Chain A
Amino acid sequence: MGFACVYIADFLVQAVVRGQRALGDGALALLGGVPPLWSVVAANPAAFEAGIQLGMTKAQVAQFGNVQICMRSEAQEKAAHAALLDAAWSVSPRVEDTAPDTVVLDLDGLTALFGSDETIARELARRVGAIGLAARVAVAANMEVAIHAARGFPGITIIPEGEERRRLGVLPVGVLTTEAETLDILERWGVATLQALGALPVLQLSERLGQEGVRLSELARGVRQRSLVLAQASSSFAEEMELDDAVEELEPLSFLLGRLLDQLCARLEARALAVRAVRIRFELQPSFEKDFQTLKEDLRTKPEVKHYDKVLTLPVPMRNSKTLLKLLRLQLQGDPPAAPIQKIYMTADAAAPRVAQNGLFVPRGPDPEKLEVTIARLGKLVGEGNLGCAELVDSHRPESFRMRRFVVANEQNKRRGKNDRNVKENPQIHAAVTALRVIRPAQAVRVEMRDEQPARVYLRGMRGEVVAASGPWRSSGDWWQEDAWHQDEWDLEIEFSLDAQQFPSGLQRGLYRIYFDALQQGWFLRGVYD
């Protein structure tokens, strides 16, 4: 069939409940307007049953003990609307953004993909449910019929072609989108349903209500046609939450972050995308940690809002909200915000999800998501700078390497690196290479020279006789910079004349690399051959 309409009943309430699931159980009334003139702008059916009416003041609502009061949140409405569009785009690429609570989808060609119209409608309801909204779905050949059926009938409604007028006839005229004045006129005429409205002669109706009358008549009869106005898919994914009470502790904050991440991940999943980076911005309470005197002085001026920003960059795109929450928690533990948080703003940089297809004979590497959490934990343990993979720098300076972020990409396994070729092609590498253990920082030693060769070395308070020496191997560079180096290196075999008690590790003879630093005019121990 032609079109499906998704309508979110009580959209304002559902948008708030989506962000605060605990509110969803009981009666809830939303307040809006300019303070202190707050009044009820929306309520759920349970609240209406309890006696709440639109326009009631906060004081009046407070008298209902069983009705929860909450402020309307435009940020959450915006996020809920974006999520609704994302869910619609996950089913069809042709979507109309009809209203904040209504979207229309063109179902042309989807039967082969999903199945019957009813299956499509159920799938739509399921996907919208996954983003935290309860949807009404209607499918009809006519777009306007689908919209009004979704607004009028609960659950899933399928209207076959030719039955539009009969099925819409039972709906009240209130489902039509028109001015309140027109609805009052129809009510005065005694026109309560669309069937009654459709039965009115069009000519006479146009004489009384103008072109609006003709439009309403066509809508009531289900014959009005119009084109779908396509919405452009947005690439920004943002969620926002304003808190009634500022949050100080990490535990409740994680709970809120987890909820926002769940919503973001559900939206990304609907669009078949993943997260490349998560950006969070906390609006902090401005008057925190200020003494009373300062507060008094600040009363005249509006306090400046402080922000706390954090970016979580991921090496591979992910969509697991629990993993993302763990990573965020680890980051926040390392660098907590300085004041209580009163507003959370979270955005996700979307990217195509990674392809996790490995070859049969390729060794399985660490799972990127798990590895990222592990690296974050290790970073907290040993420090970010002490973790990663070493990258050699194109320099002859000793110890010339830098730490790089450790990333395991699938392509790495398939690609043969330079070192792999070394191993395969260089037969000498099959023997053990004499390894050097570096002492960081280099340890100062005293060296006695004989015939311009080291003859005796004093190391850690011990004396060693040089048995064999190789050197000096001179290197120097960067003389034009402050950190120039100029060294003469020696490989020494040293024999220590010590008993086992003085040197319990049993080191009596060993191979060392020492160097004479010409700039510092001193001898240093670079490392031990092991």
Chain B
Amino acid sequence: MAASSLATLRSKIEADLRGRVASPFAYRDRNAFELVSTGIPEMDALVGGLPRGAMTEICGAPCSGRTSFLLSALASRAADGEVCALVDARDSFDPLTANVAGVALEKLLWVRCQNIEQALRATDLLIQAGGFGMVAVDLSDVPAKTVRQVPLNAWFRFRRAVEDTPTILLLLEQEANAKTCASLVVRLEAGEARWTEAGETKAGDKDAQKKHSLQGLKPIASKHVTWGLKPPPPKEKSYAASCYPFAKLLRGFAVRTDVVRSRIQMPEQRVINIRAGAQPRLAVPRSADRGVFATETV
């Protein structure tokens, strides 16, 4: 076919699709995402950040740090002044912890659902509304068997709806279910919990005082308290130890992270592709990547 006929055909197609498709012949690199911080430096180093316009799955067993990850991500978006939405499938979000984590509650639309059907419909509505920096869907407490029964086309629909938008769709589950619809899948696993021992001074003091001030709690005396047996020196006297020598404080716990799937091209890979003049590569699996981060109780 002559070049002029091709050009005519191309312009005709462009004219027909005007208003519906912005540039039908432009090459779109579906793996080139804008990445934003997760709020956890270790995770940013591992996965590059959370991709906009894509679905991210964070999966893991209960107590594996999924909610801590969620709060960090929400706080990170709040710091950038973005409005976020949280679809809470089992109504387990704790505003007090979120506030302590730095989540701007006034910029967080919290949808408290009773079951997964409501959660999926609410997610669909929120994505269609647009304008949210992040739509987080917390299915952590929904039995894995129930989430597994969600048809794949539901995840596909979410992926298509969020595509080409600045919204981050973050799913929290026990198992990864969205298959290839998710651009980033990270599995979390709980590590060792860290406790302060009684008599541990500086950190224990701060933790105890913070906990008291934030939650209005006060340690109570017990008959196990043995005052005066061996009084510590005044400078090193622990607040917790002085009130309650056997007290322990939860300092946090370690979280092991494992990248199950990632379509995200790291910036350096894209630069190489452009310099070489080659087509951008397809998904770069990073399943071997692992990392660890720790949570802090404040």
Contacts and interface: CB of A to CB of B under 8 A. Distances in A.
A463 interface: no
B67 interface: yes
B217 A370 contact: no
26 contacts: A363-B133, A364-B131, A365-B83, A371-B129, A388-B110, A389-B109, A390-B110, A392-B99, A396-B217, A400-B96, A401-B96, A406-B109, A420-B104, A429-B75, A429-B101, A430-B40, A431-B296, A432-B71, A432-B255, A435-B71, A436-B97, A440-B92, A453-B246, A470-B249, A505-B143, A530-B140
Contacts of B71: 432-433, 435
A529 B253 contact: yes
A471 B198 CA distance: 11
Contacts of A506: 61
A375 B174 CA distance: 28
B264 interface: no
Interface of B is mostly: mixed
Contact of A468 (B67, B106, B248, B294): B248
Interface in B82-115: 82-83, 91-114
Contacts of B156: none
Given A437-B93, A438-B94, A491-B249, 7 more contacts: A362-B81, A377-B125, A420-B104, A434-B298, A435-B101, A473-B215, A511-B250
A475 B294 CA distance: 28
A366 B107 CA distance: 11
Nearest to B121: A381
Interface string B144-171: 1000000000000000000000100000
A432 B113 contact: no
Nearest to B196: A470
A413 B78 CA distance: 10
B109 A419 contact: no
Interface string A361-398: 01111110011011101100110001111111000100
B69 A374 contact: no
A452 B222 contact: yes
A367 B131 CA distance: 7
Nearest to B131: A366
Contacts of B97: 433-436
A505 B223 CA distance: 39
Contact of A435 (B67, B114, B141): B67
B218 A475 contact: yes
Interface of B: 39-41, 61-72, 75-76, 78-83, 91-114, 118, 121-122, 125-126, 128-133, 140-141, 143-144, 166, 174, 190, 193, 195, 211, 215-220, 222-224, 246-250, 252-253, 255, 293-298
B63 A475 contact: no
Given A389-B106, A451-B224, A438 B190 contact: no
A293 interface: no
Given A367-B131, A396-B216, A435-B101, A382 B94 contact: no
Contacts of B94: 435-438, 527
Contacts of A473: 211, 215, 217-219
A363 B81 contact: yes
Contacts of A477: 216
Nearest to A510: B63
B220 A431 contact: no
A428 B298 contact: yes
Contacts of B70: 435
B129 A505 contact: no
A373 B249 CA distance: 46
Interface of A: 362-367, 370-371, 373-375, 377-378, 381-382, 386-392, 396, 400-401, 403-404, 406, 408, 412-413, 417, 419-420, 422-424, 426, 428-440, 451-453, 468-475, 477, 488-489, 491, 493, 504-507, 509-511, 527-530
B62 A433 contact: no
A470 B2 CA distance: 80
B199 to A, nearest CB: 14
B3 to A, nearest CB: 41
Contacts of A527: 92, 94
A419 B78 contact: yes
Given A381-B118, A382-B122, A530-B63, A424 B79 contact: yes
B171 to A, nearest CB: 15
Contacts of A386: 91, 111-114
Contact of A381 (B66, B76, B125, B295): B125
Contacts of B78: 419-420, 423
A362 B80 CA distance: 9
A439 to B, nearest CB: 7
Contact of B218 (A365, A422, A436, A474): A474
Contacts of B65: 432, 530
A392 B112 CA distance: 16
A387 B80 contact: no
Contacts of A378: 111, 122, 125-126
Contacts of A423: 75-76, 78-79, 102
A80 to B, nearest CB: 37
Contacts of A470: 195, 247-250
B190 A509 contact: yes
A367 B130 contact: yes
A431 B96 contact: no
A505 B104 contact: no
A391 B297 CA distance: 22
Given A420-B104, A509-B190, A510-B63, A434 B250 contact: yes
Contact of A392 (B105, B107, B132, B249): B105
Nearest to B108: A389
A91 to B, nearest CB: 34
A434 B218 contact: no
Contact of B166 (A364, A370, A474): A364
A446 B7 CA distance: 77
B139 to A, nearest CB: 12
A392 B68 contact: no
Contacts of B247: 470-471
Contact of A422 (B76, B92, B102): B102
A432 B293 CA distance: 8
A25 B111 CA distance: 49
A279 B97 CA distance: 40
Nearest to B166: A364
The 8 closest A-B pairs by CB, nearest first: A396-B216, A366-B131, A510-B63, A473-B217, A390-B95, A435-B67, A374-B129, A433-B101
A396 B72 CA distance: 24
Contacts of B126: 374, 378
A429 B111 CA distance: 25
Contacts of A422: 102
Contacts of A439: 92
A434 B295 contact: yes
A511 B253 contact: yes
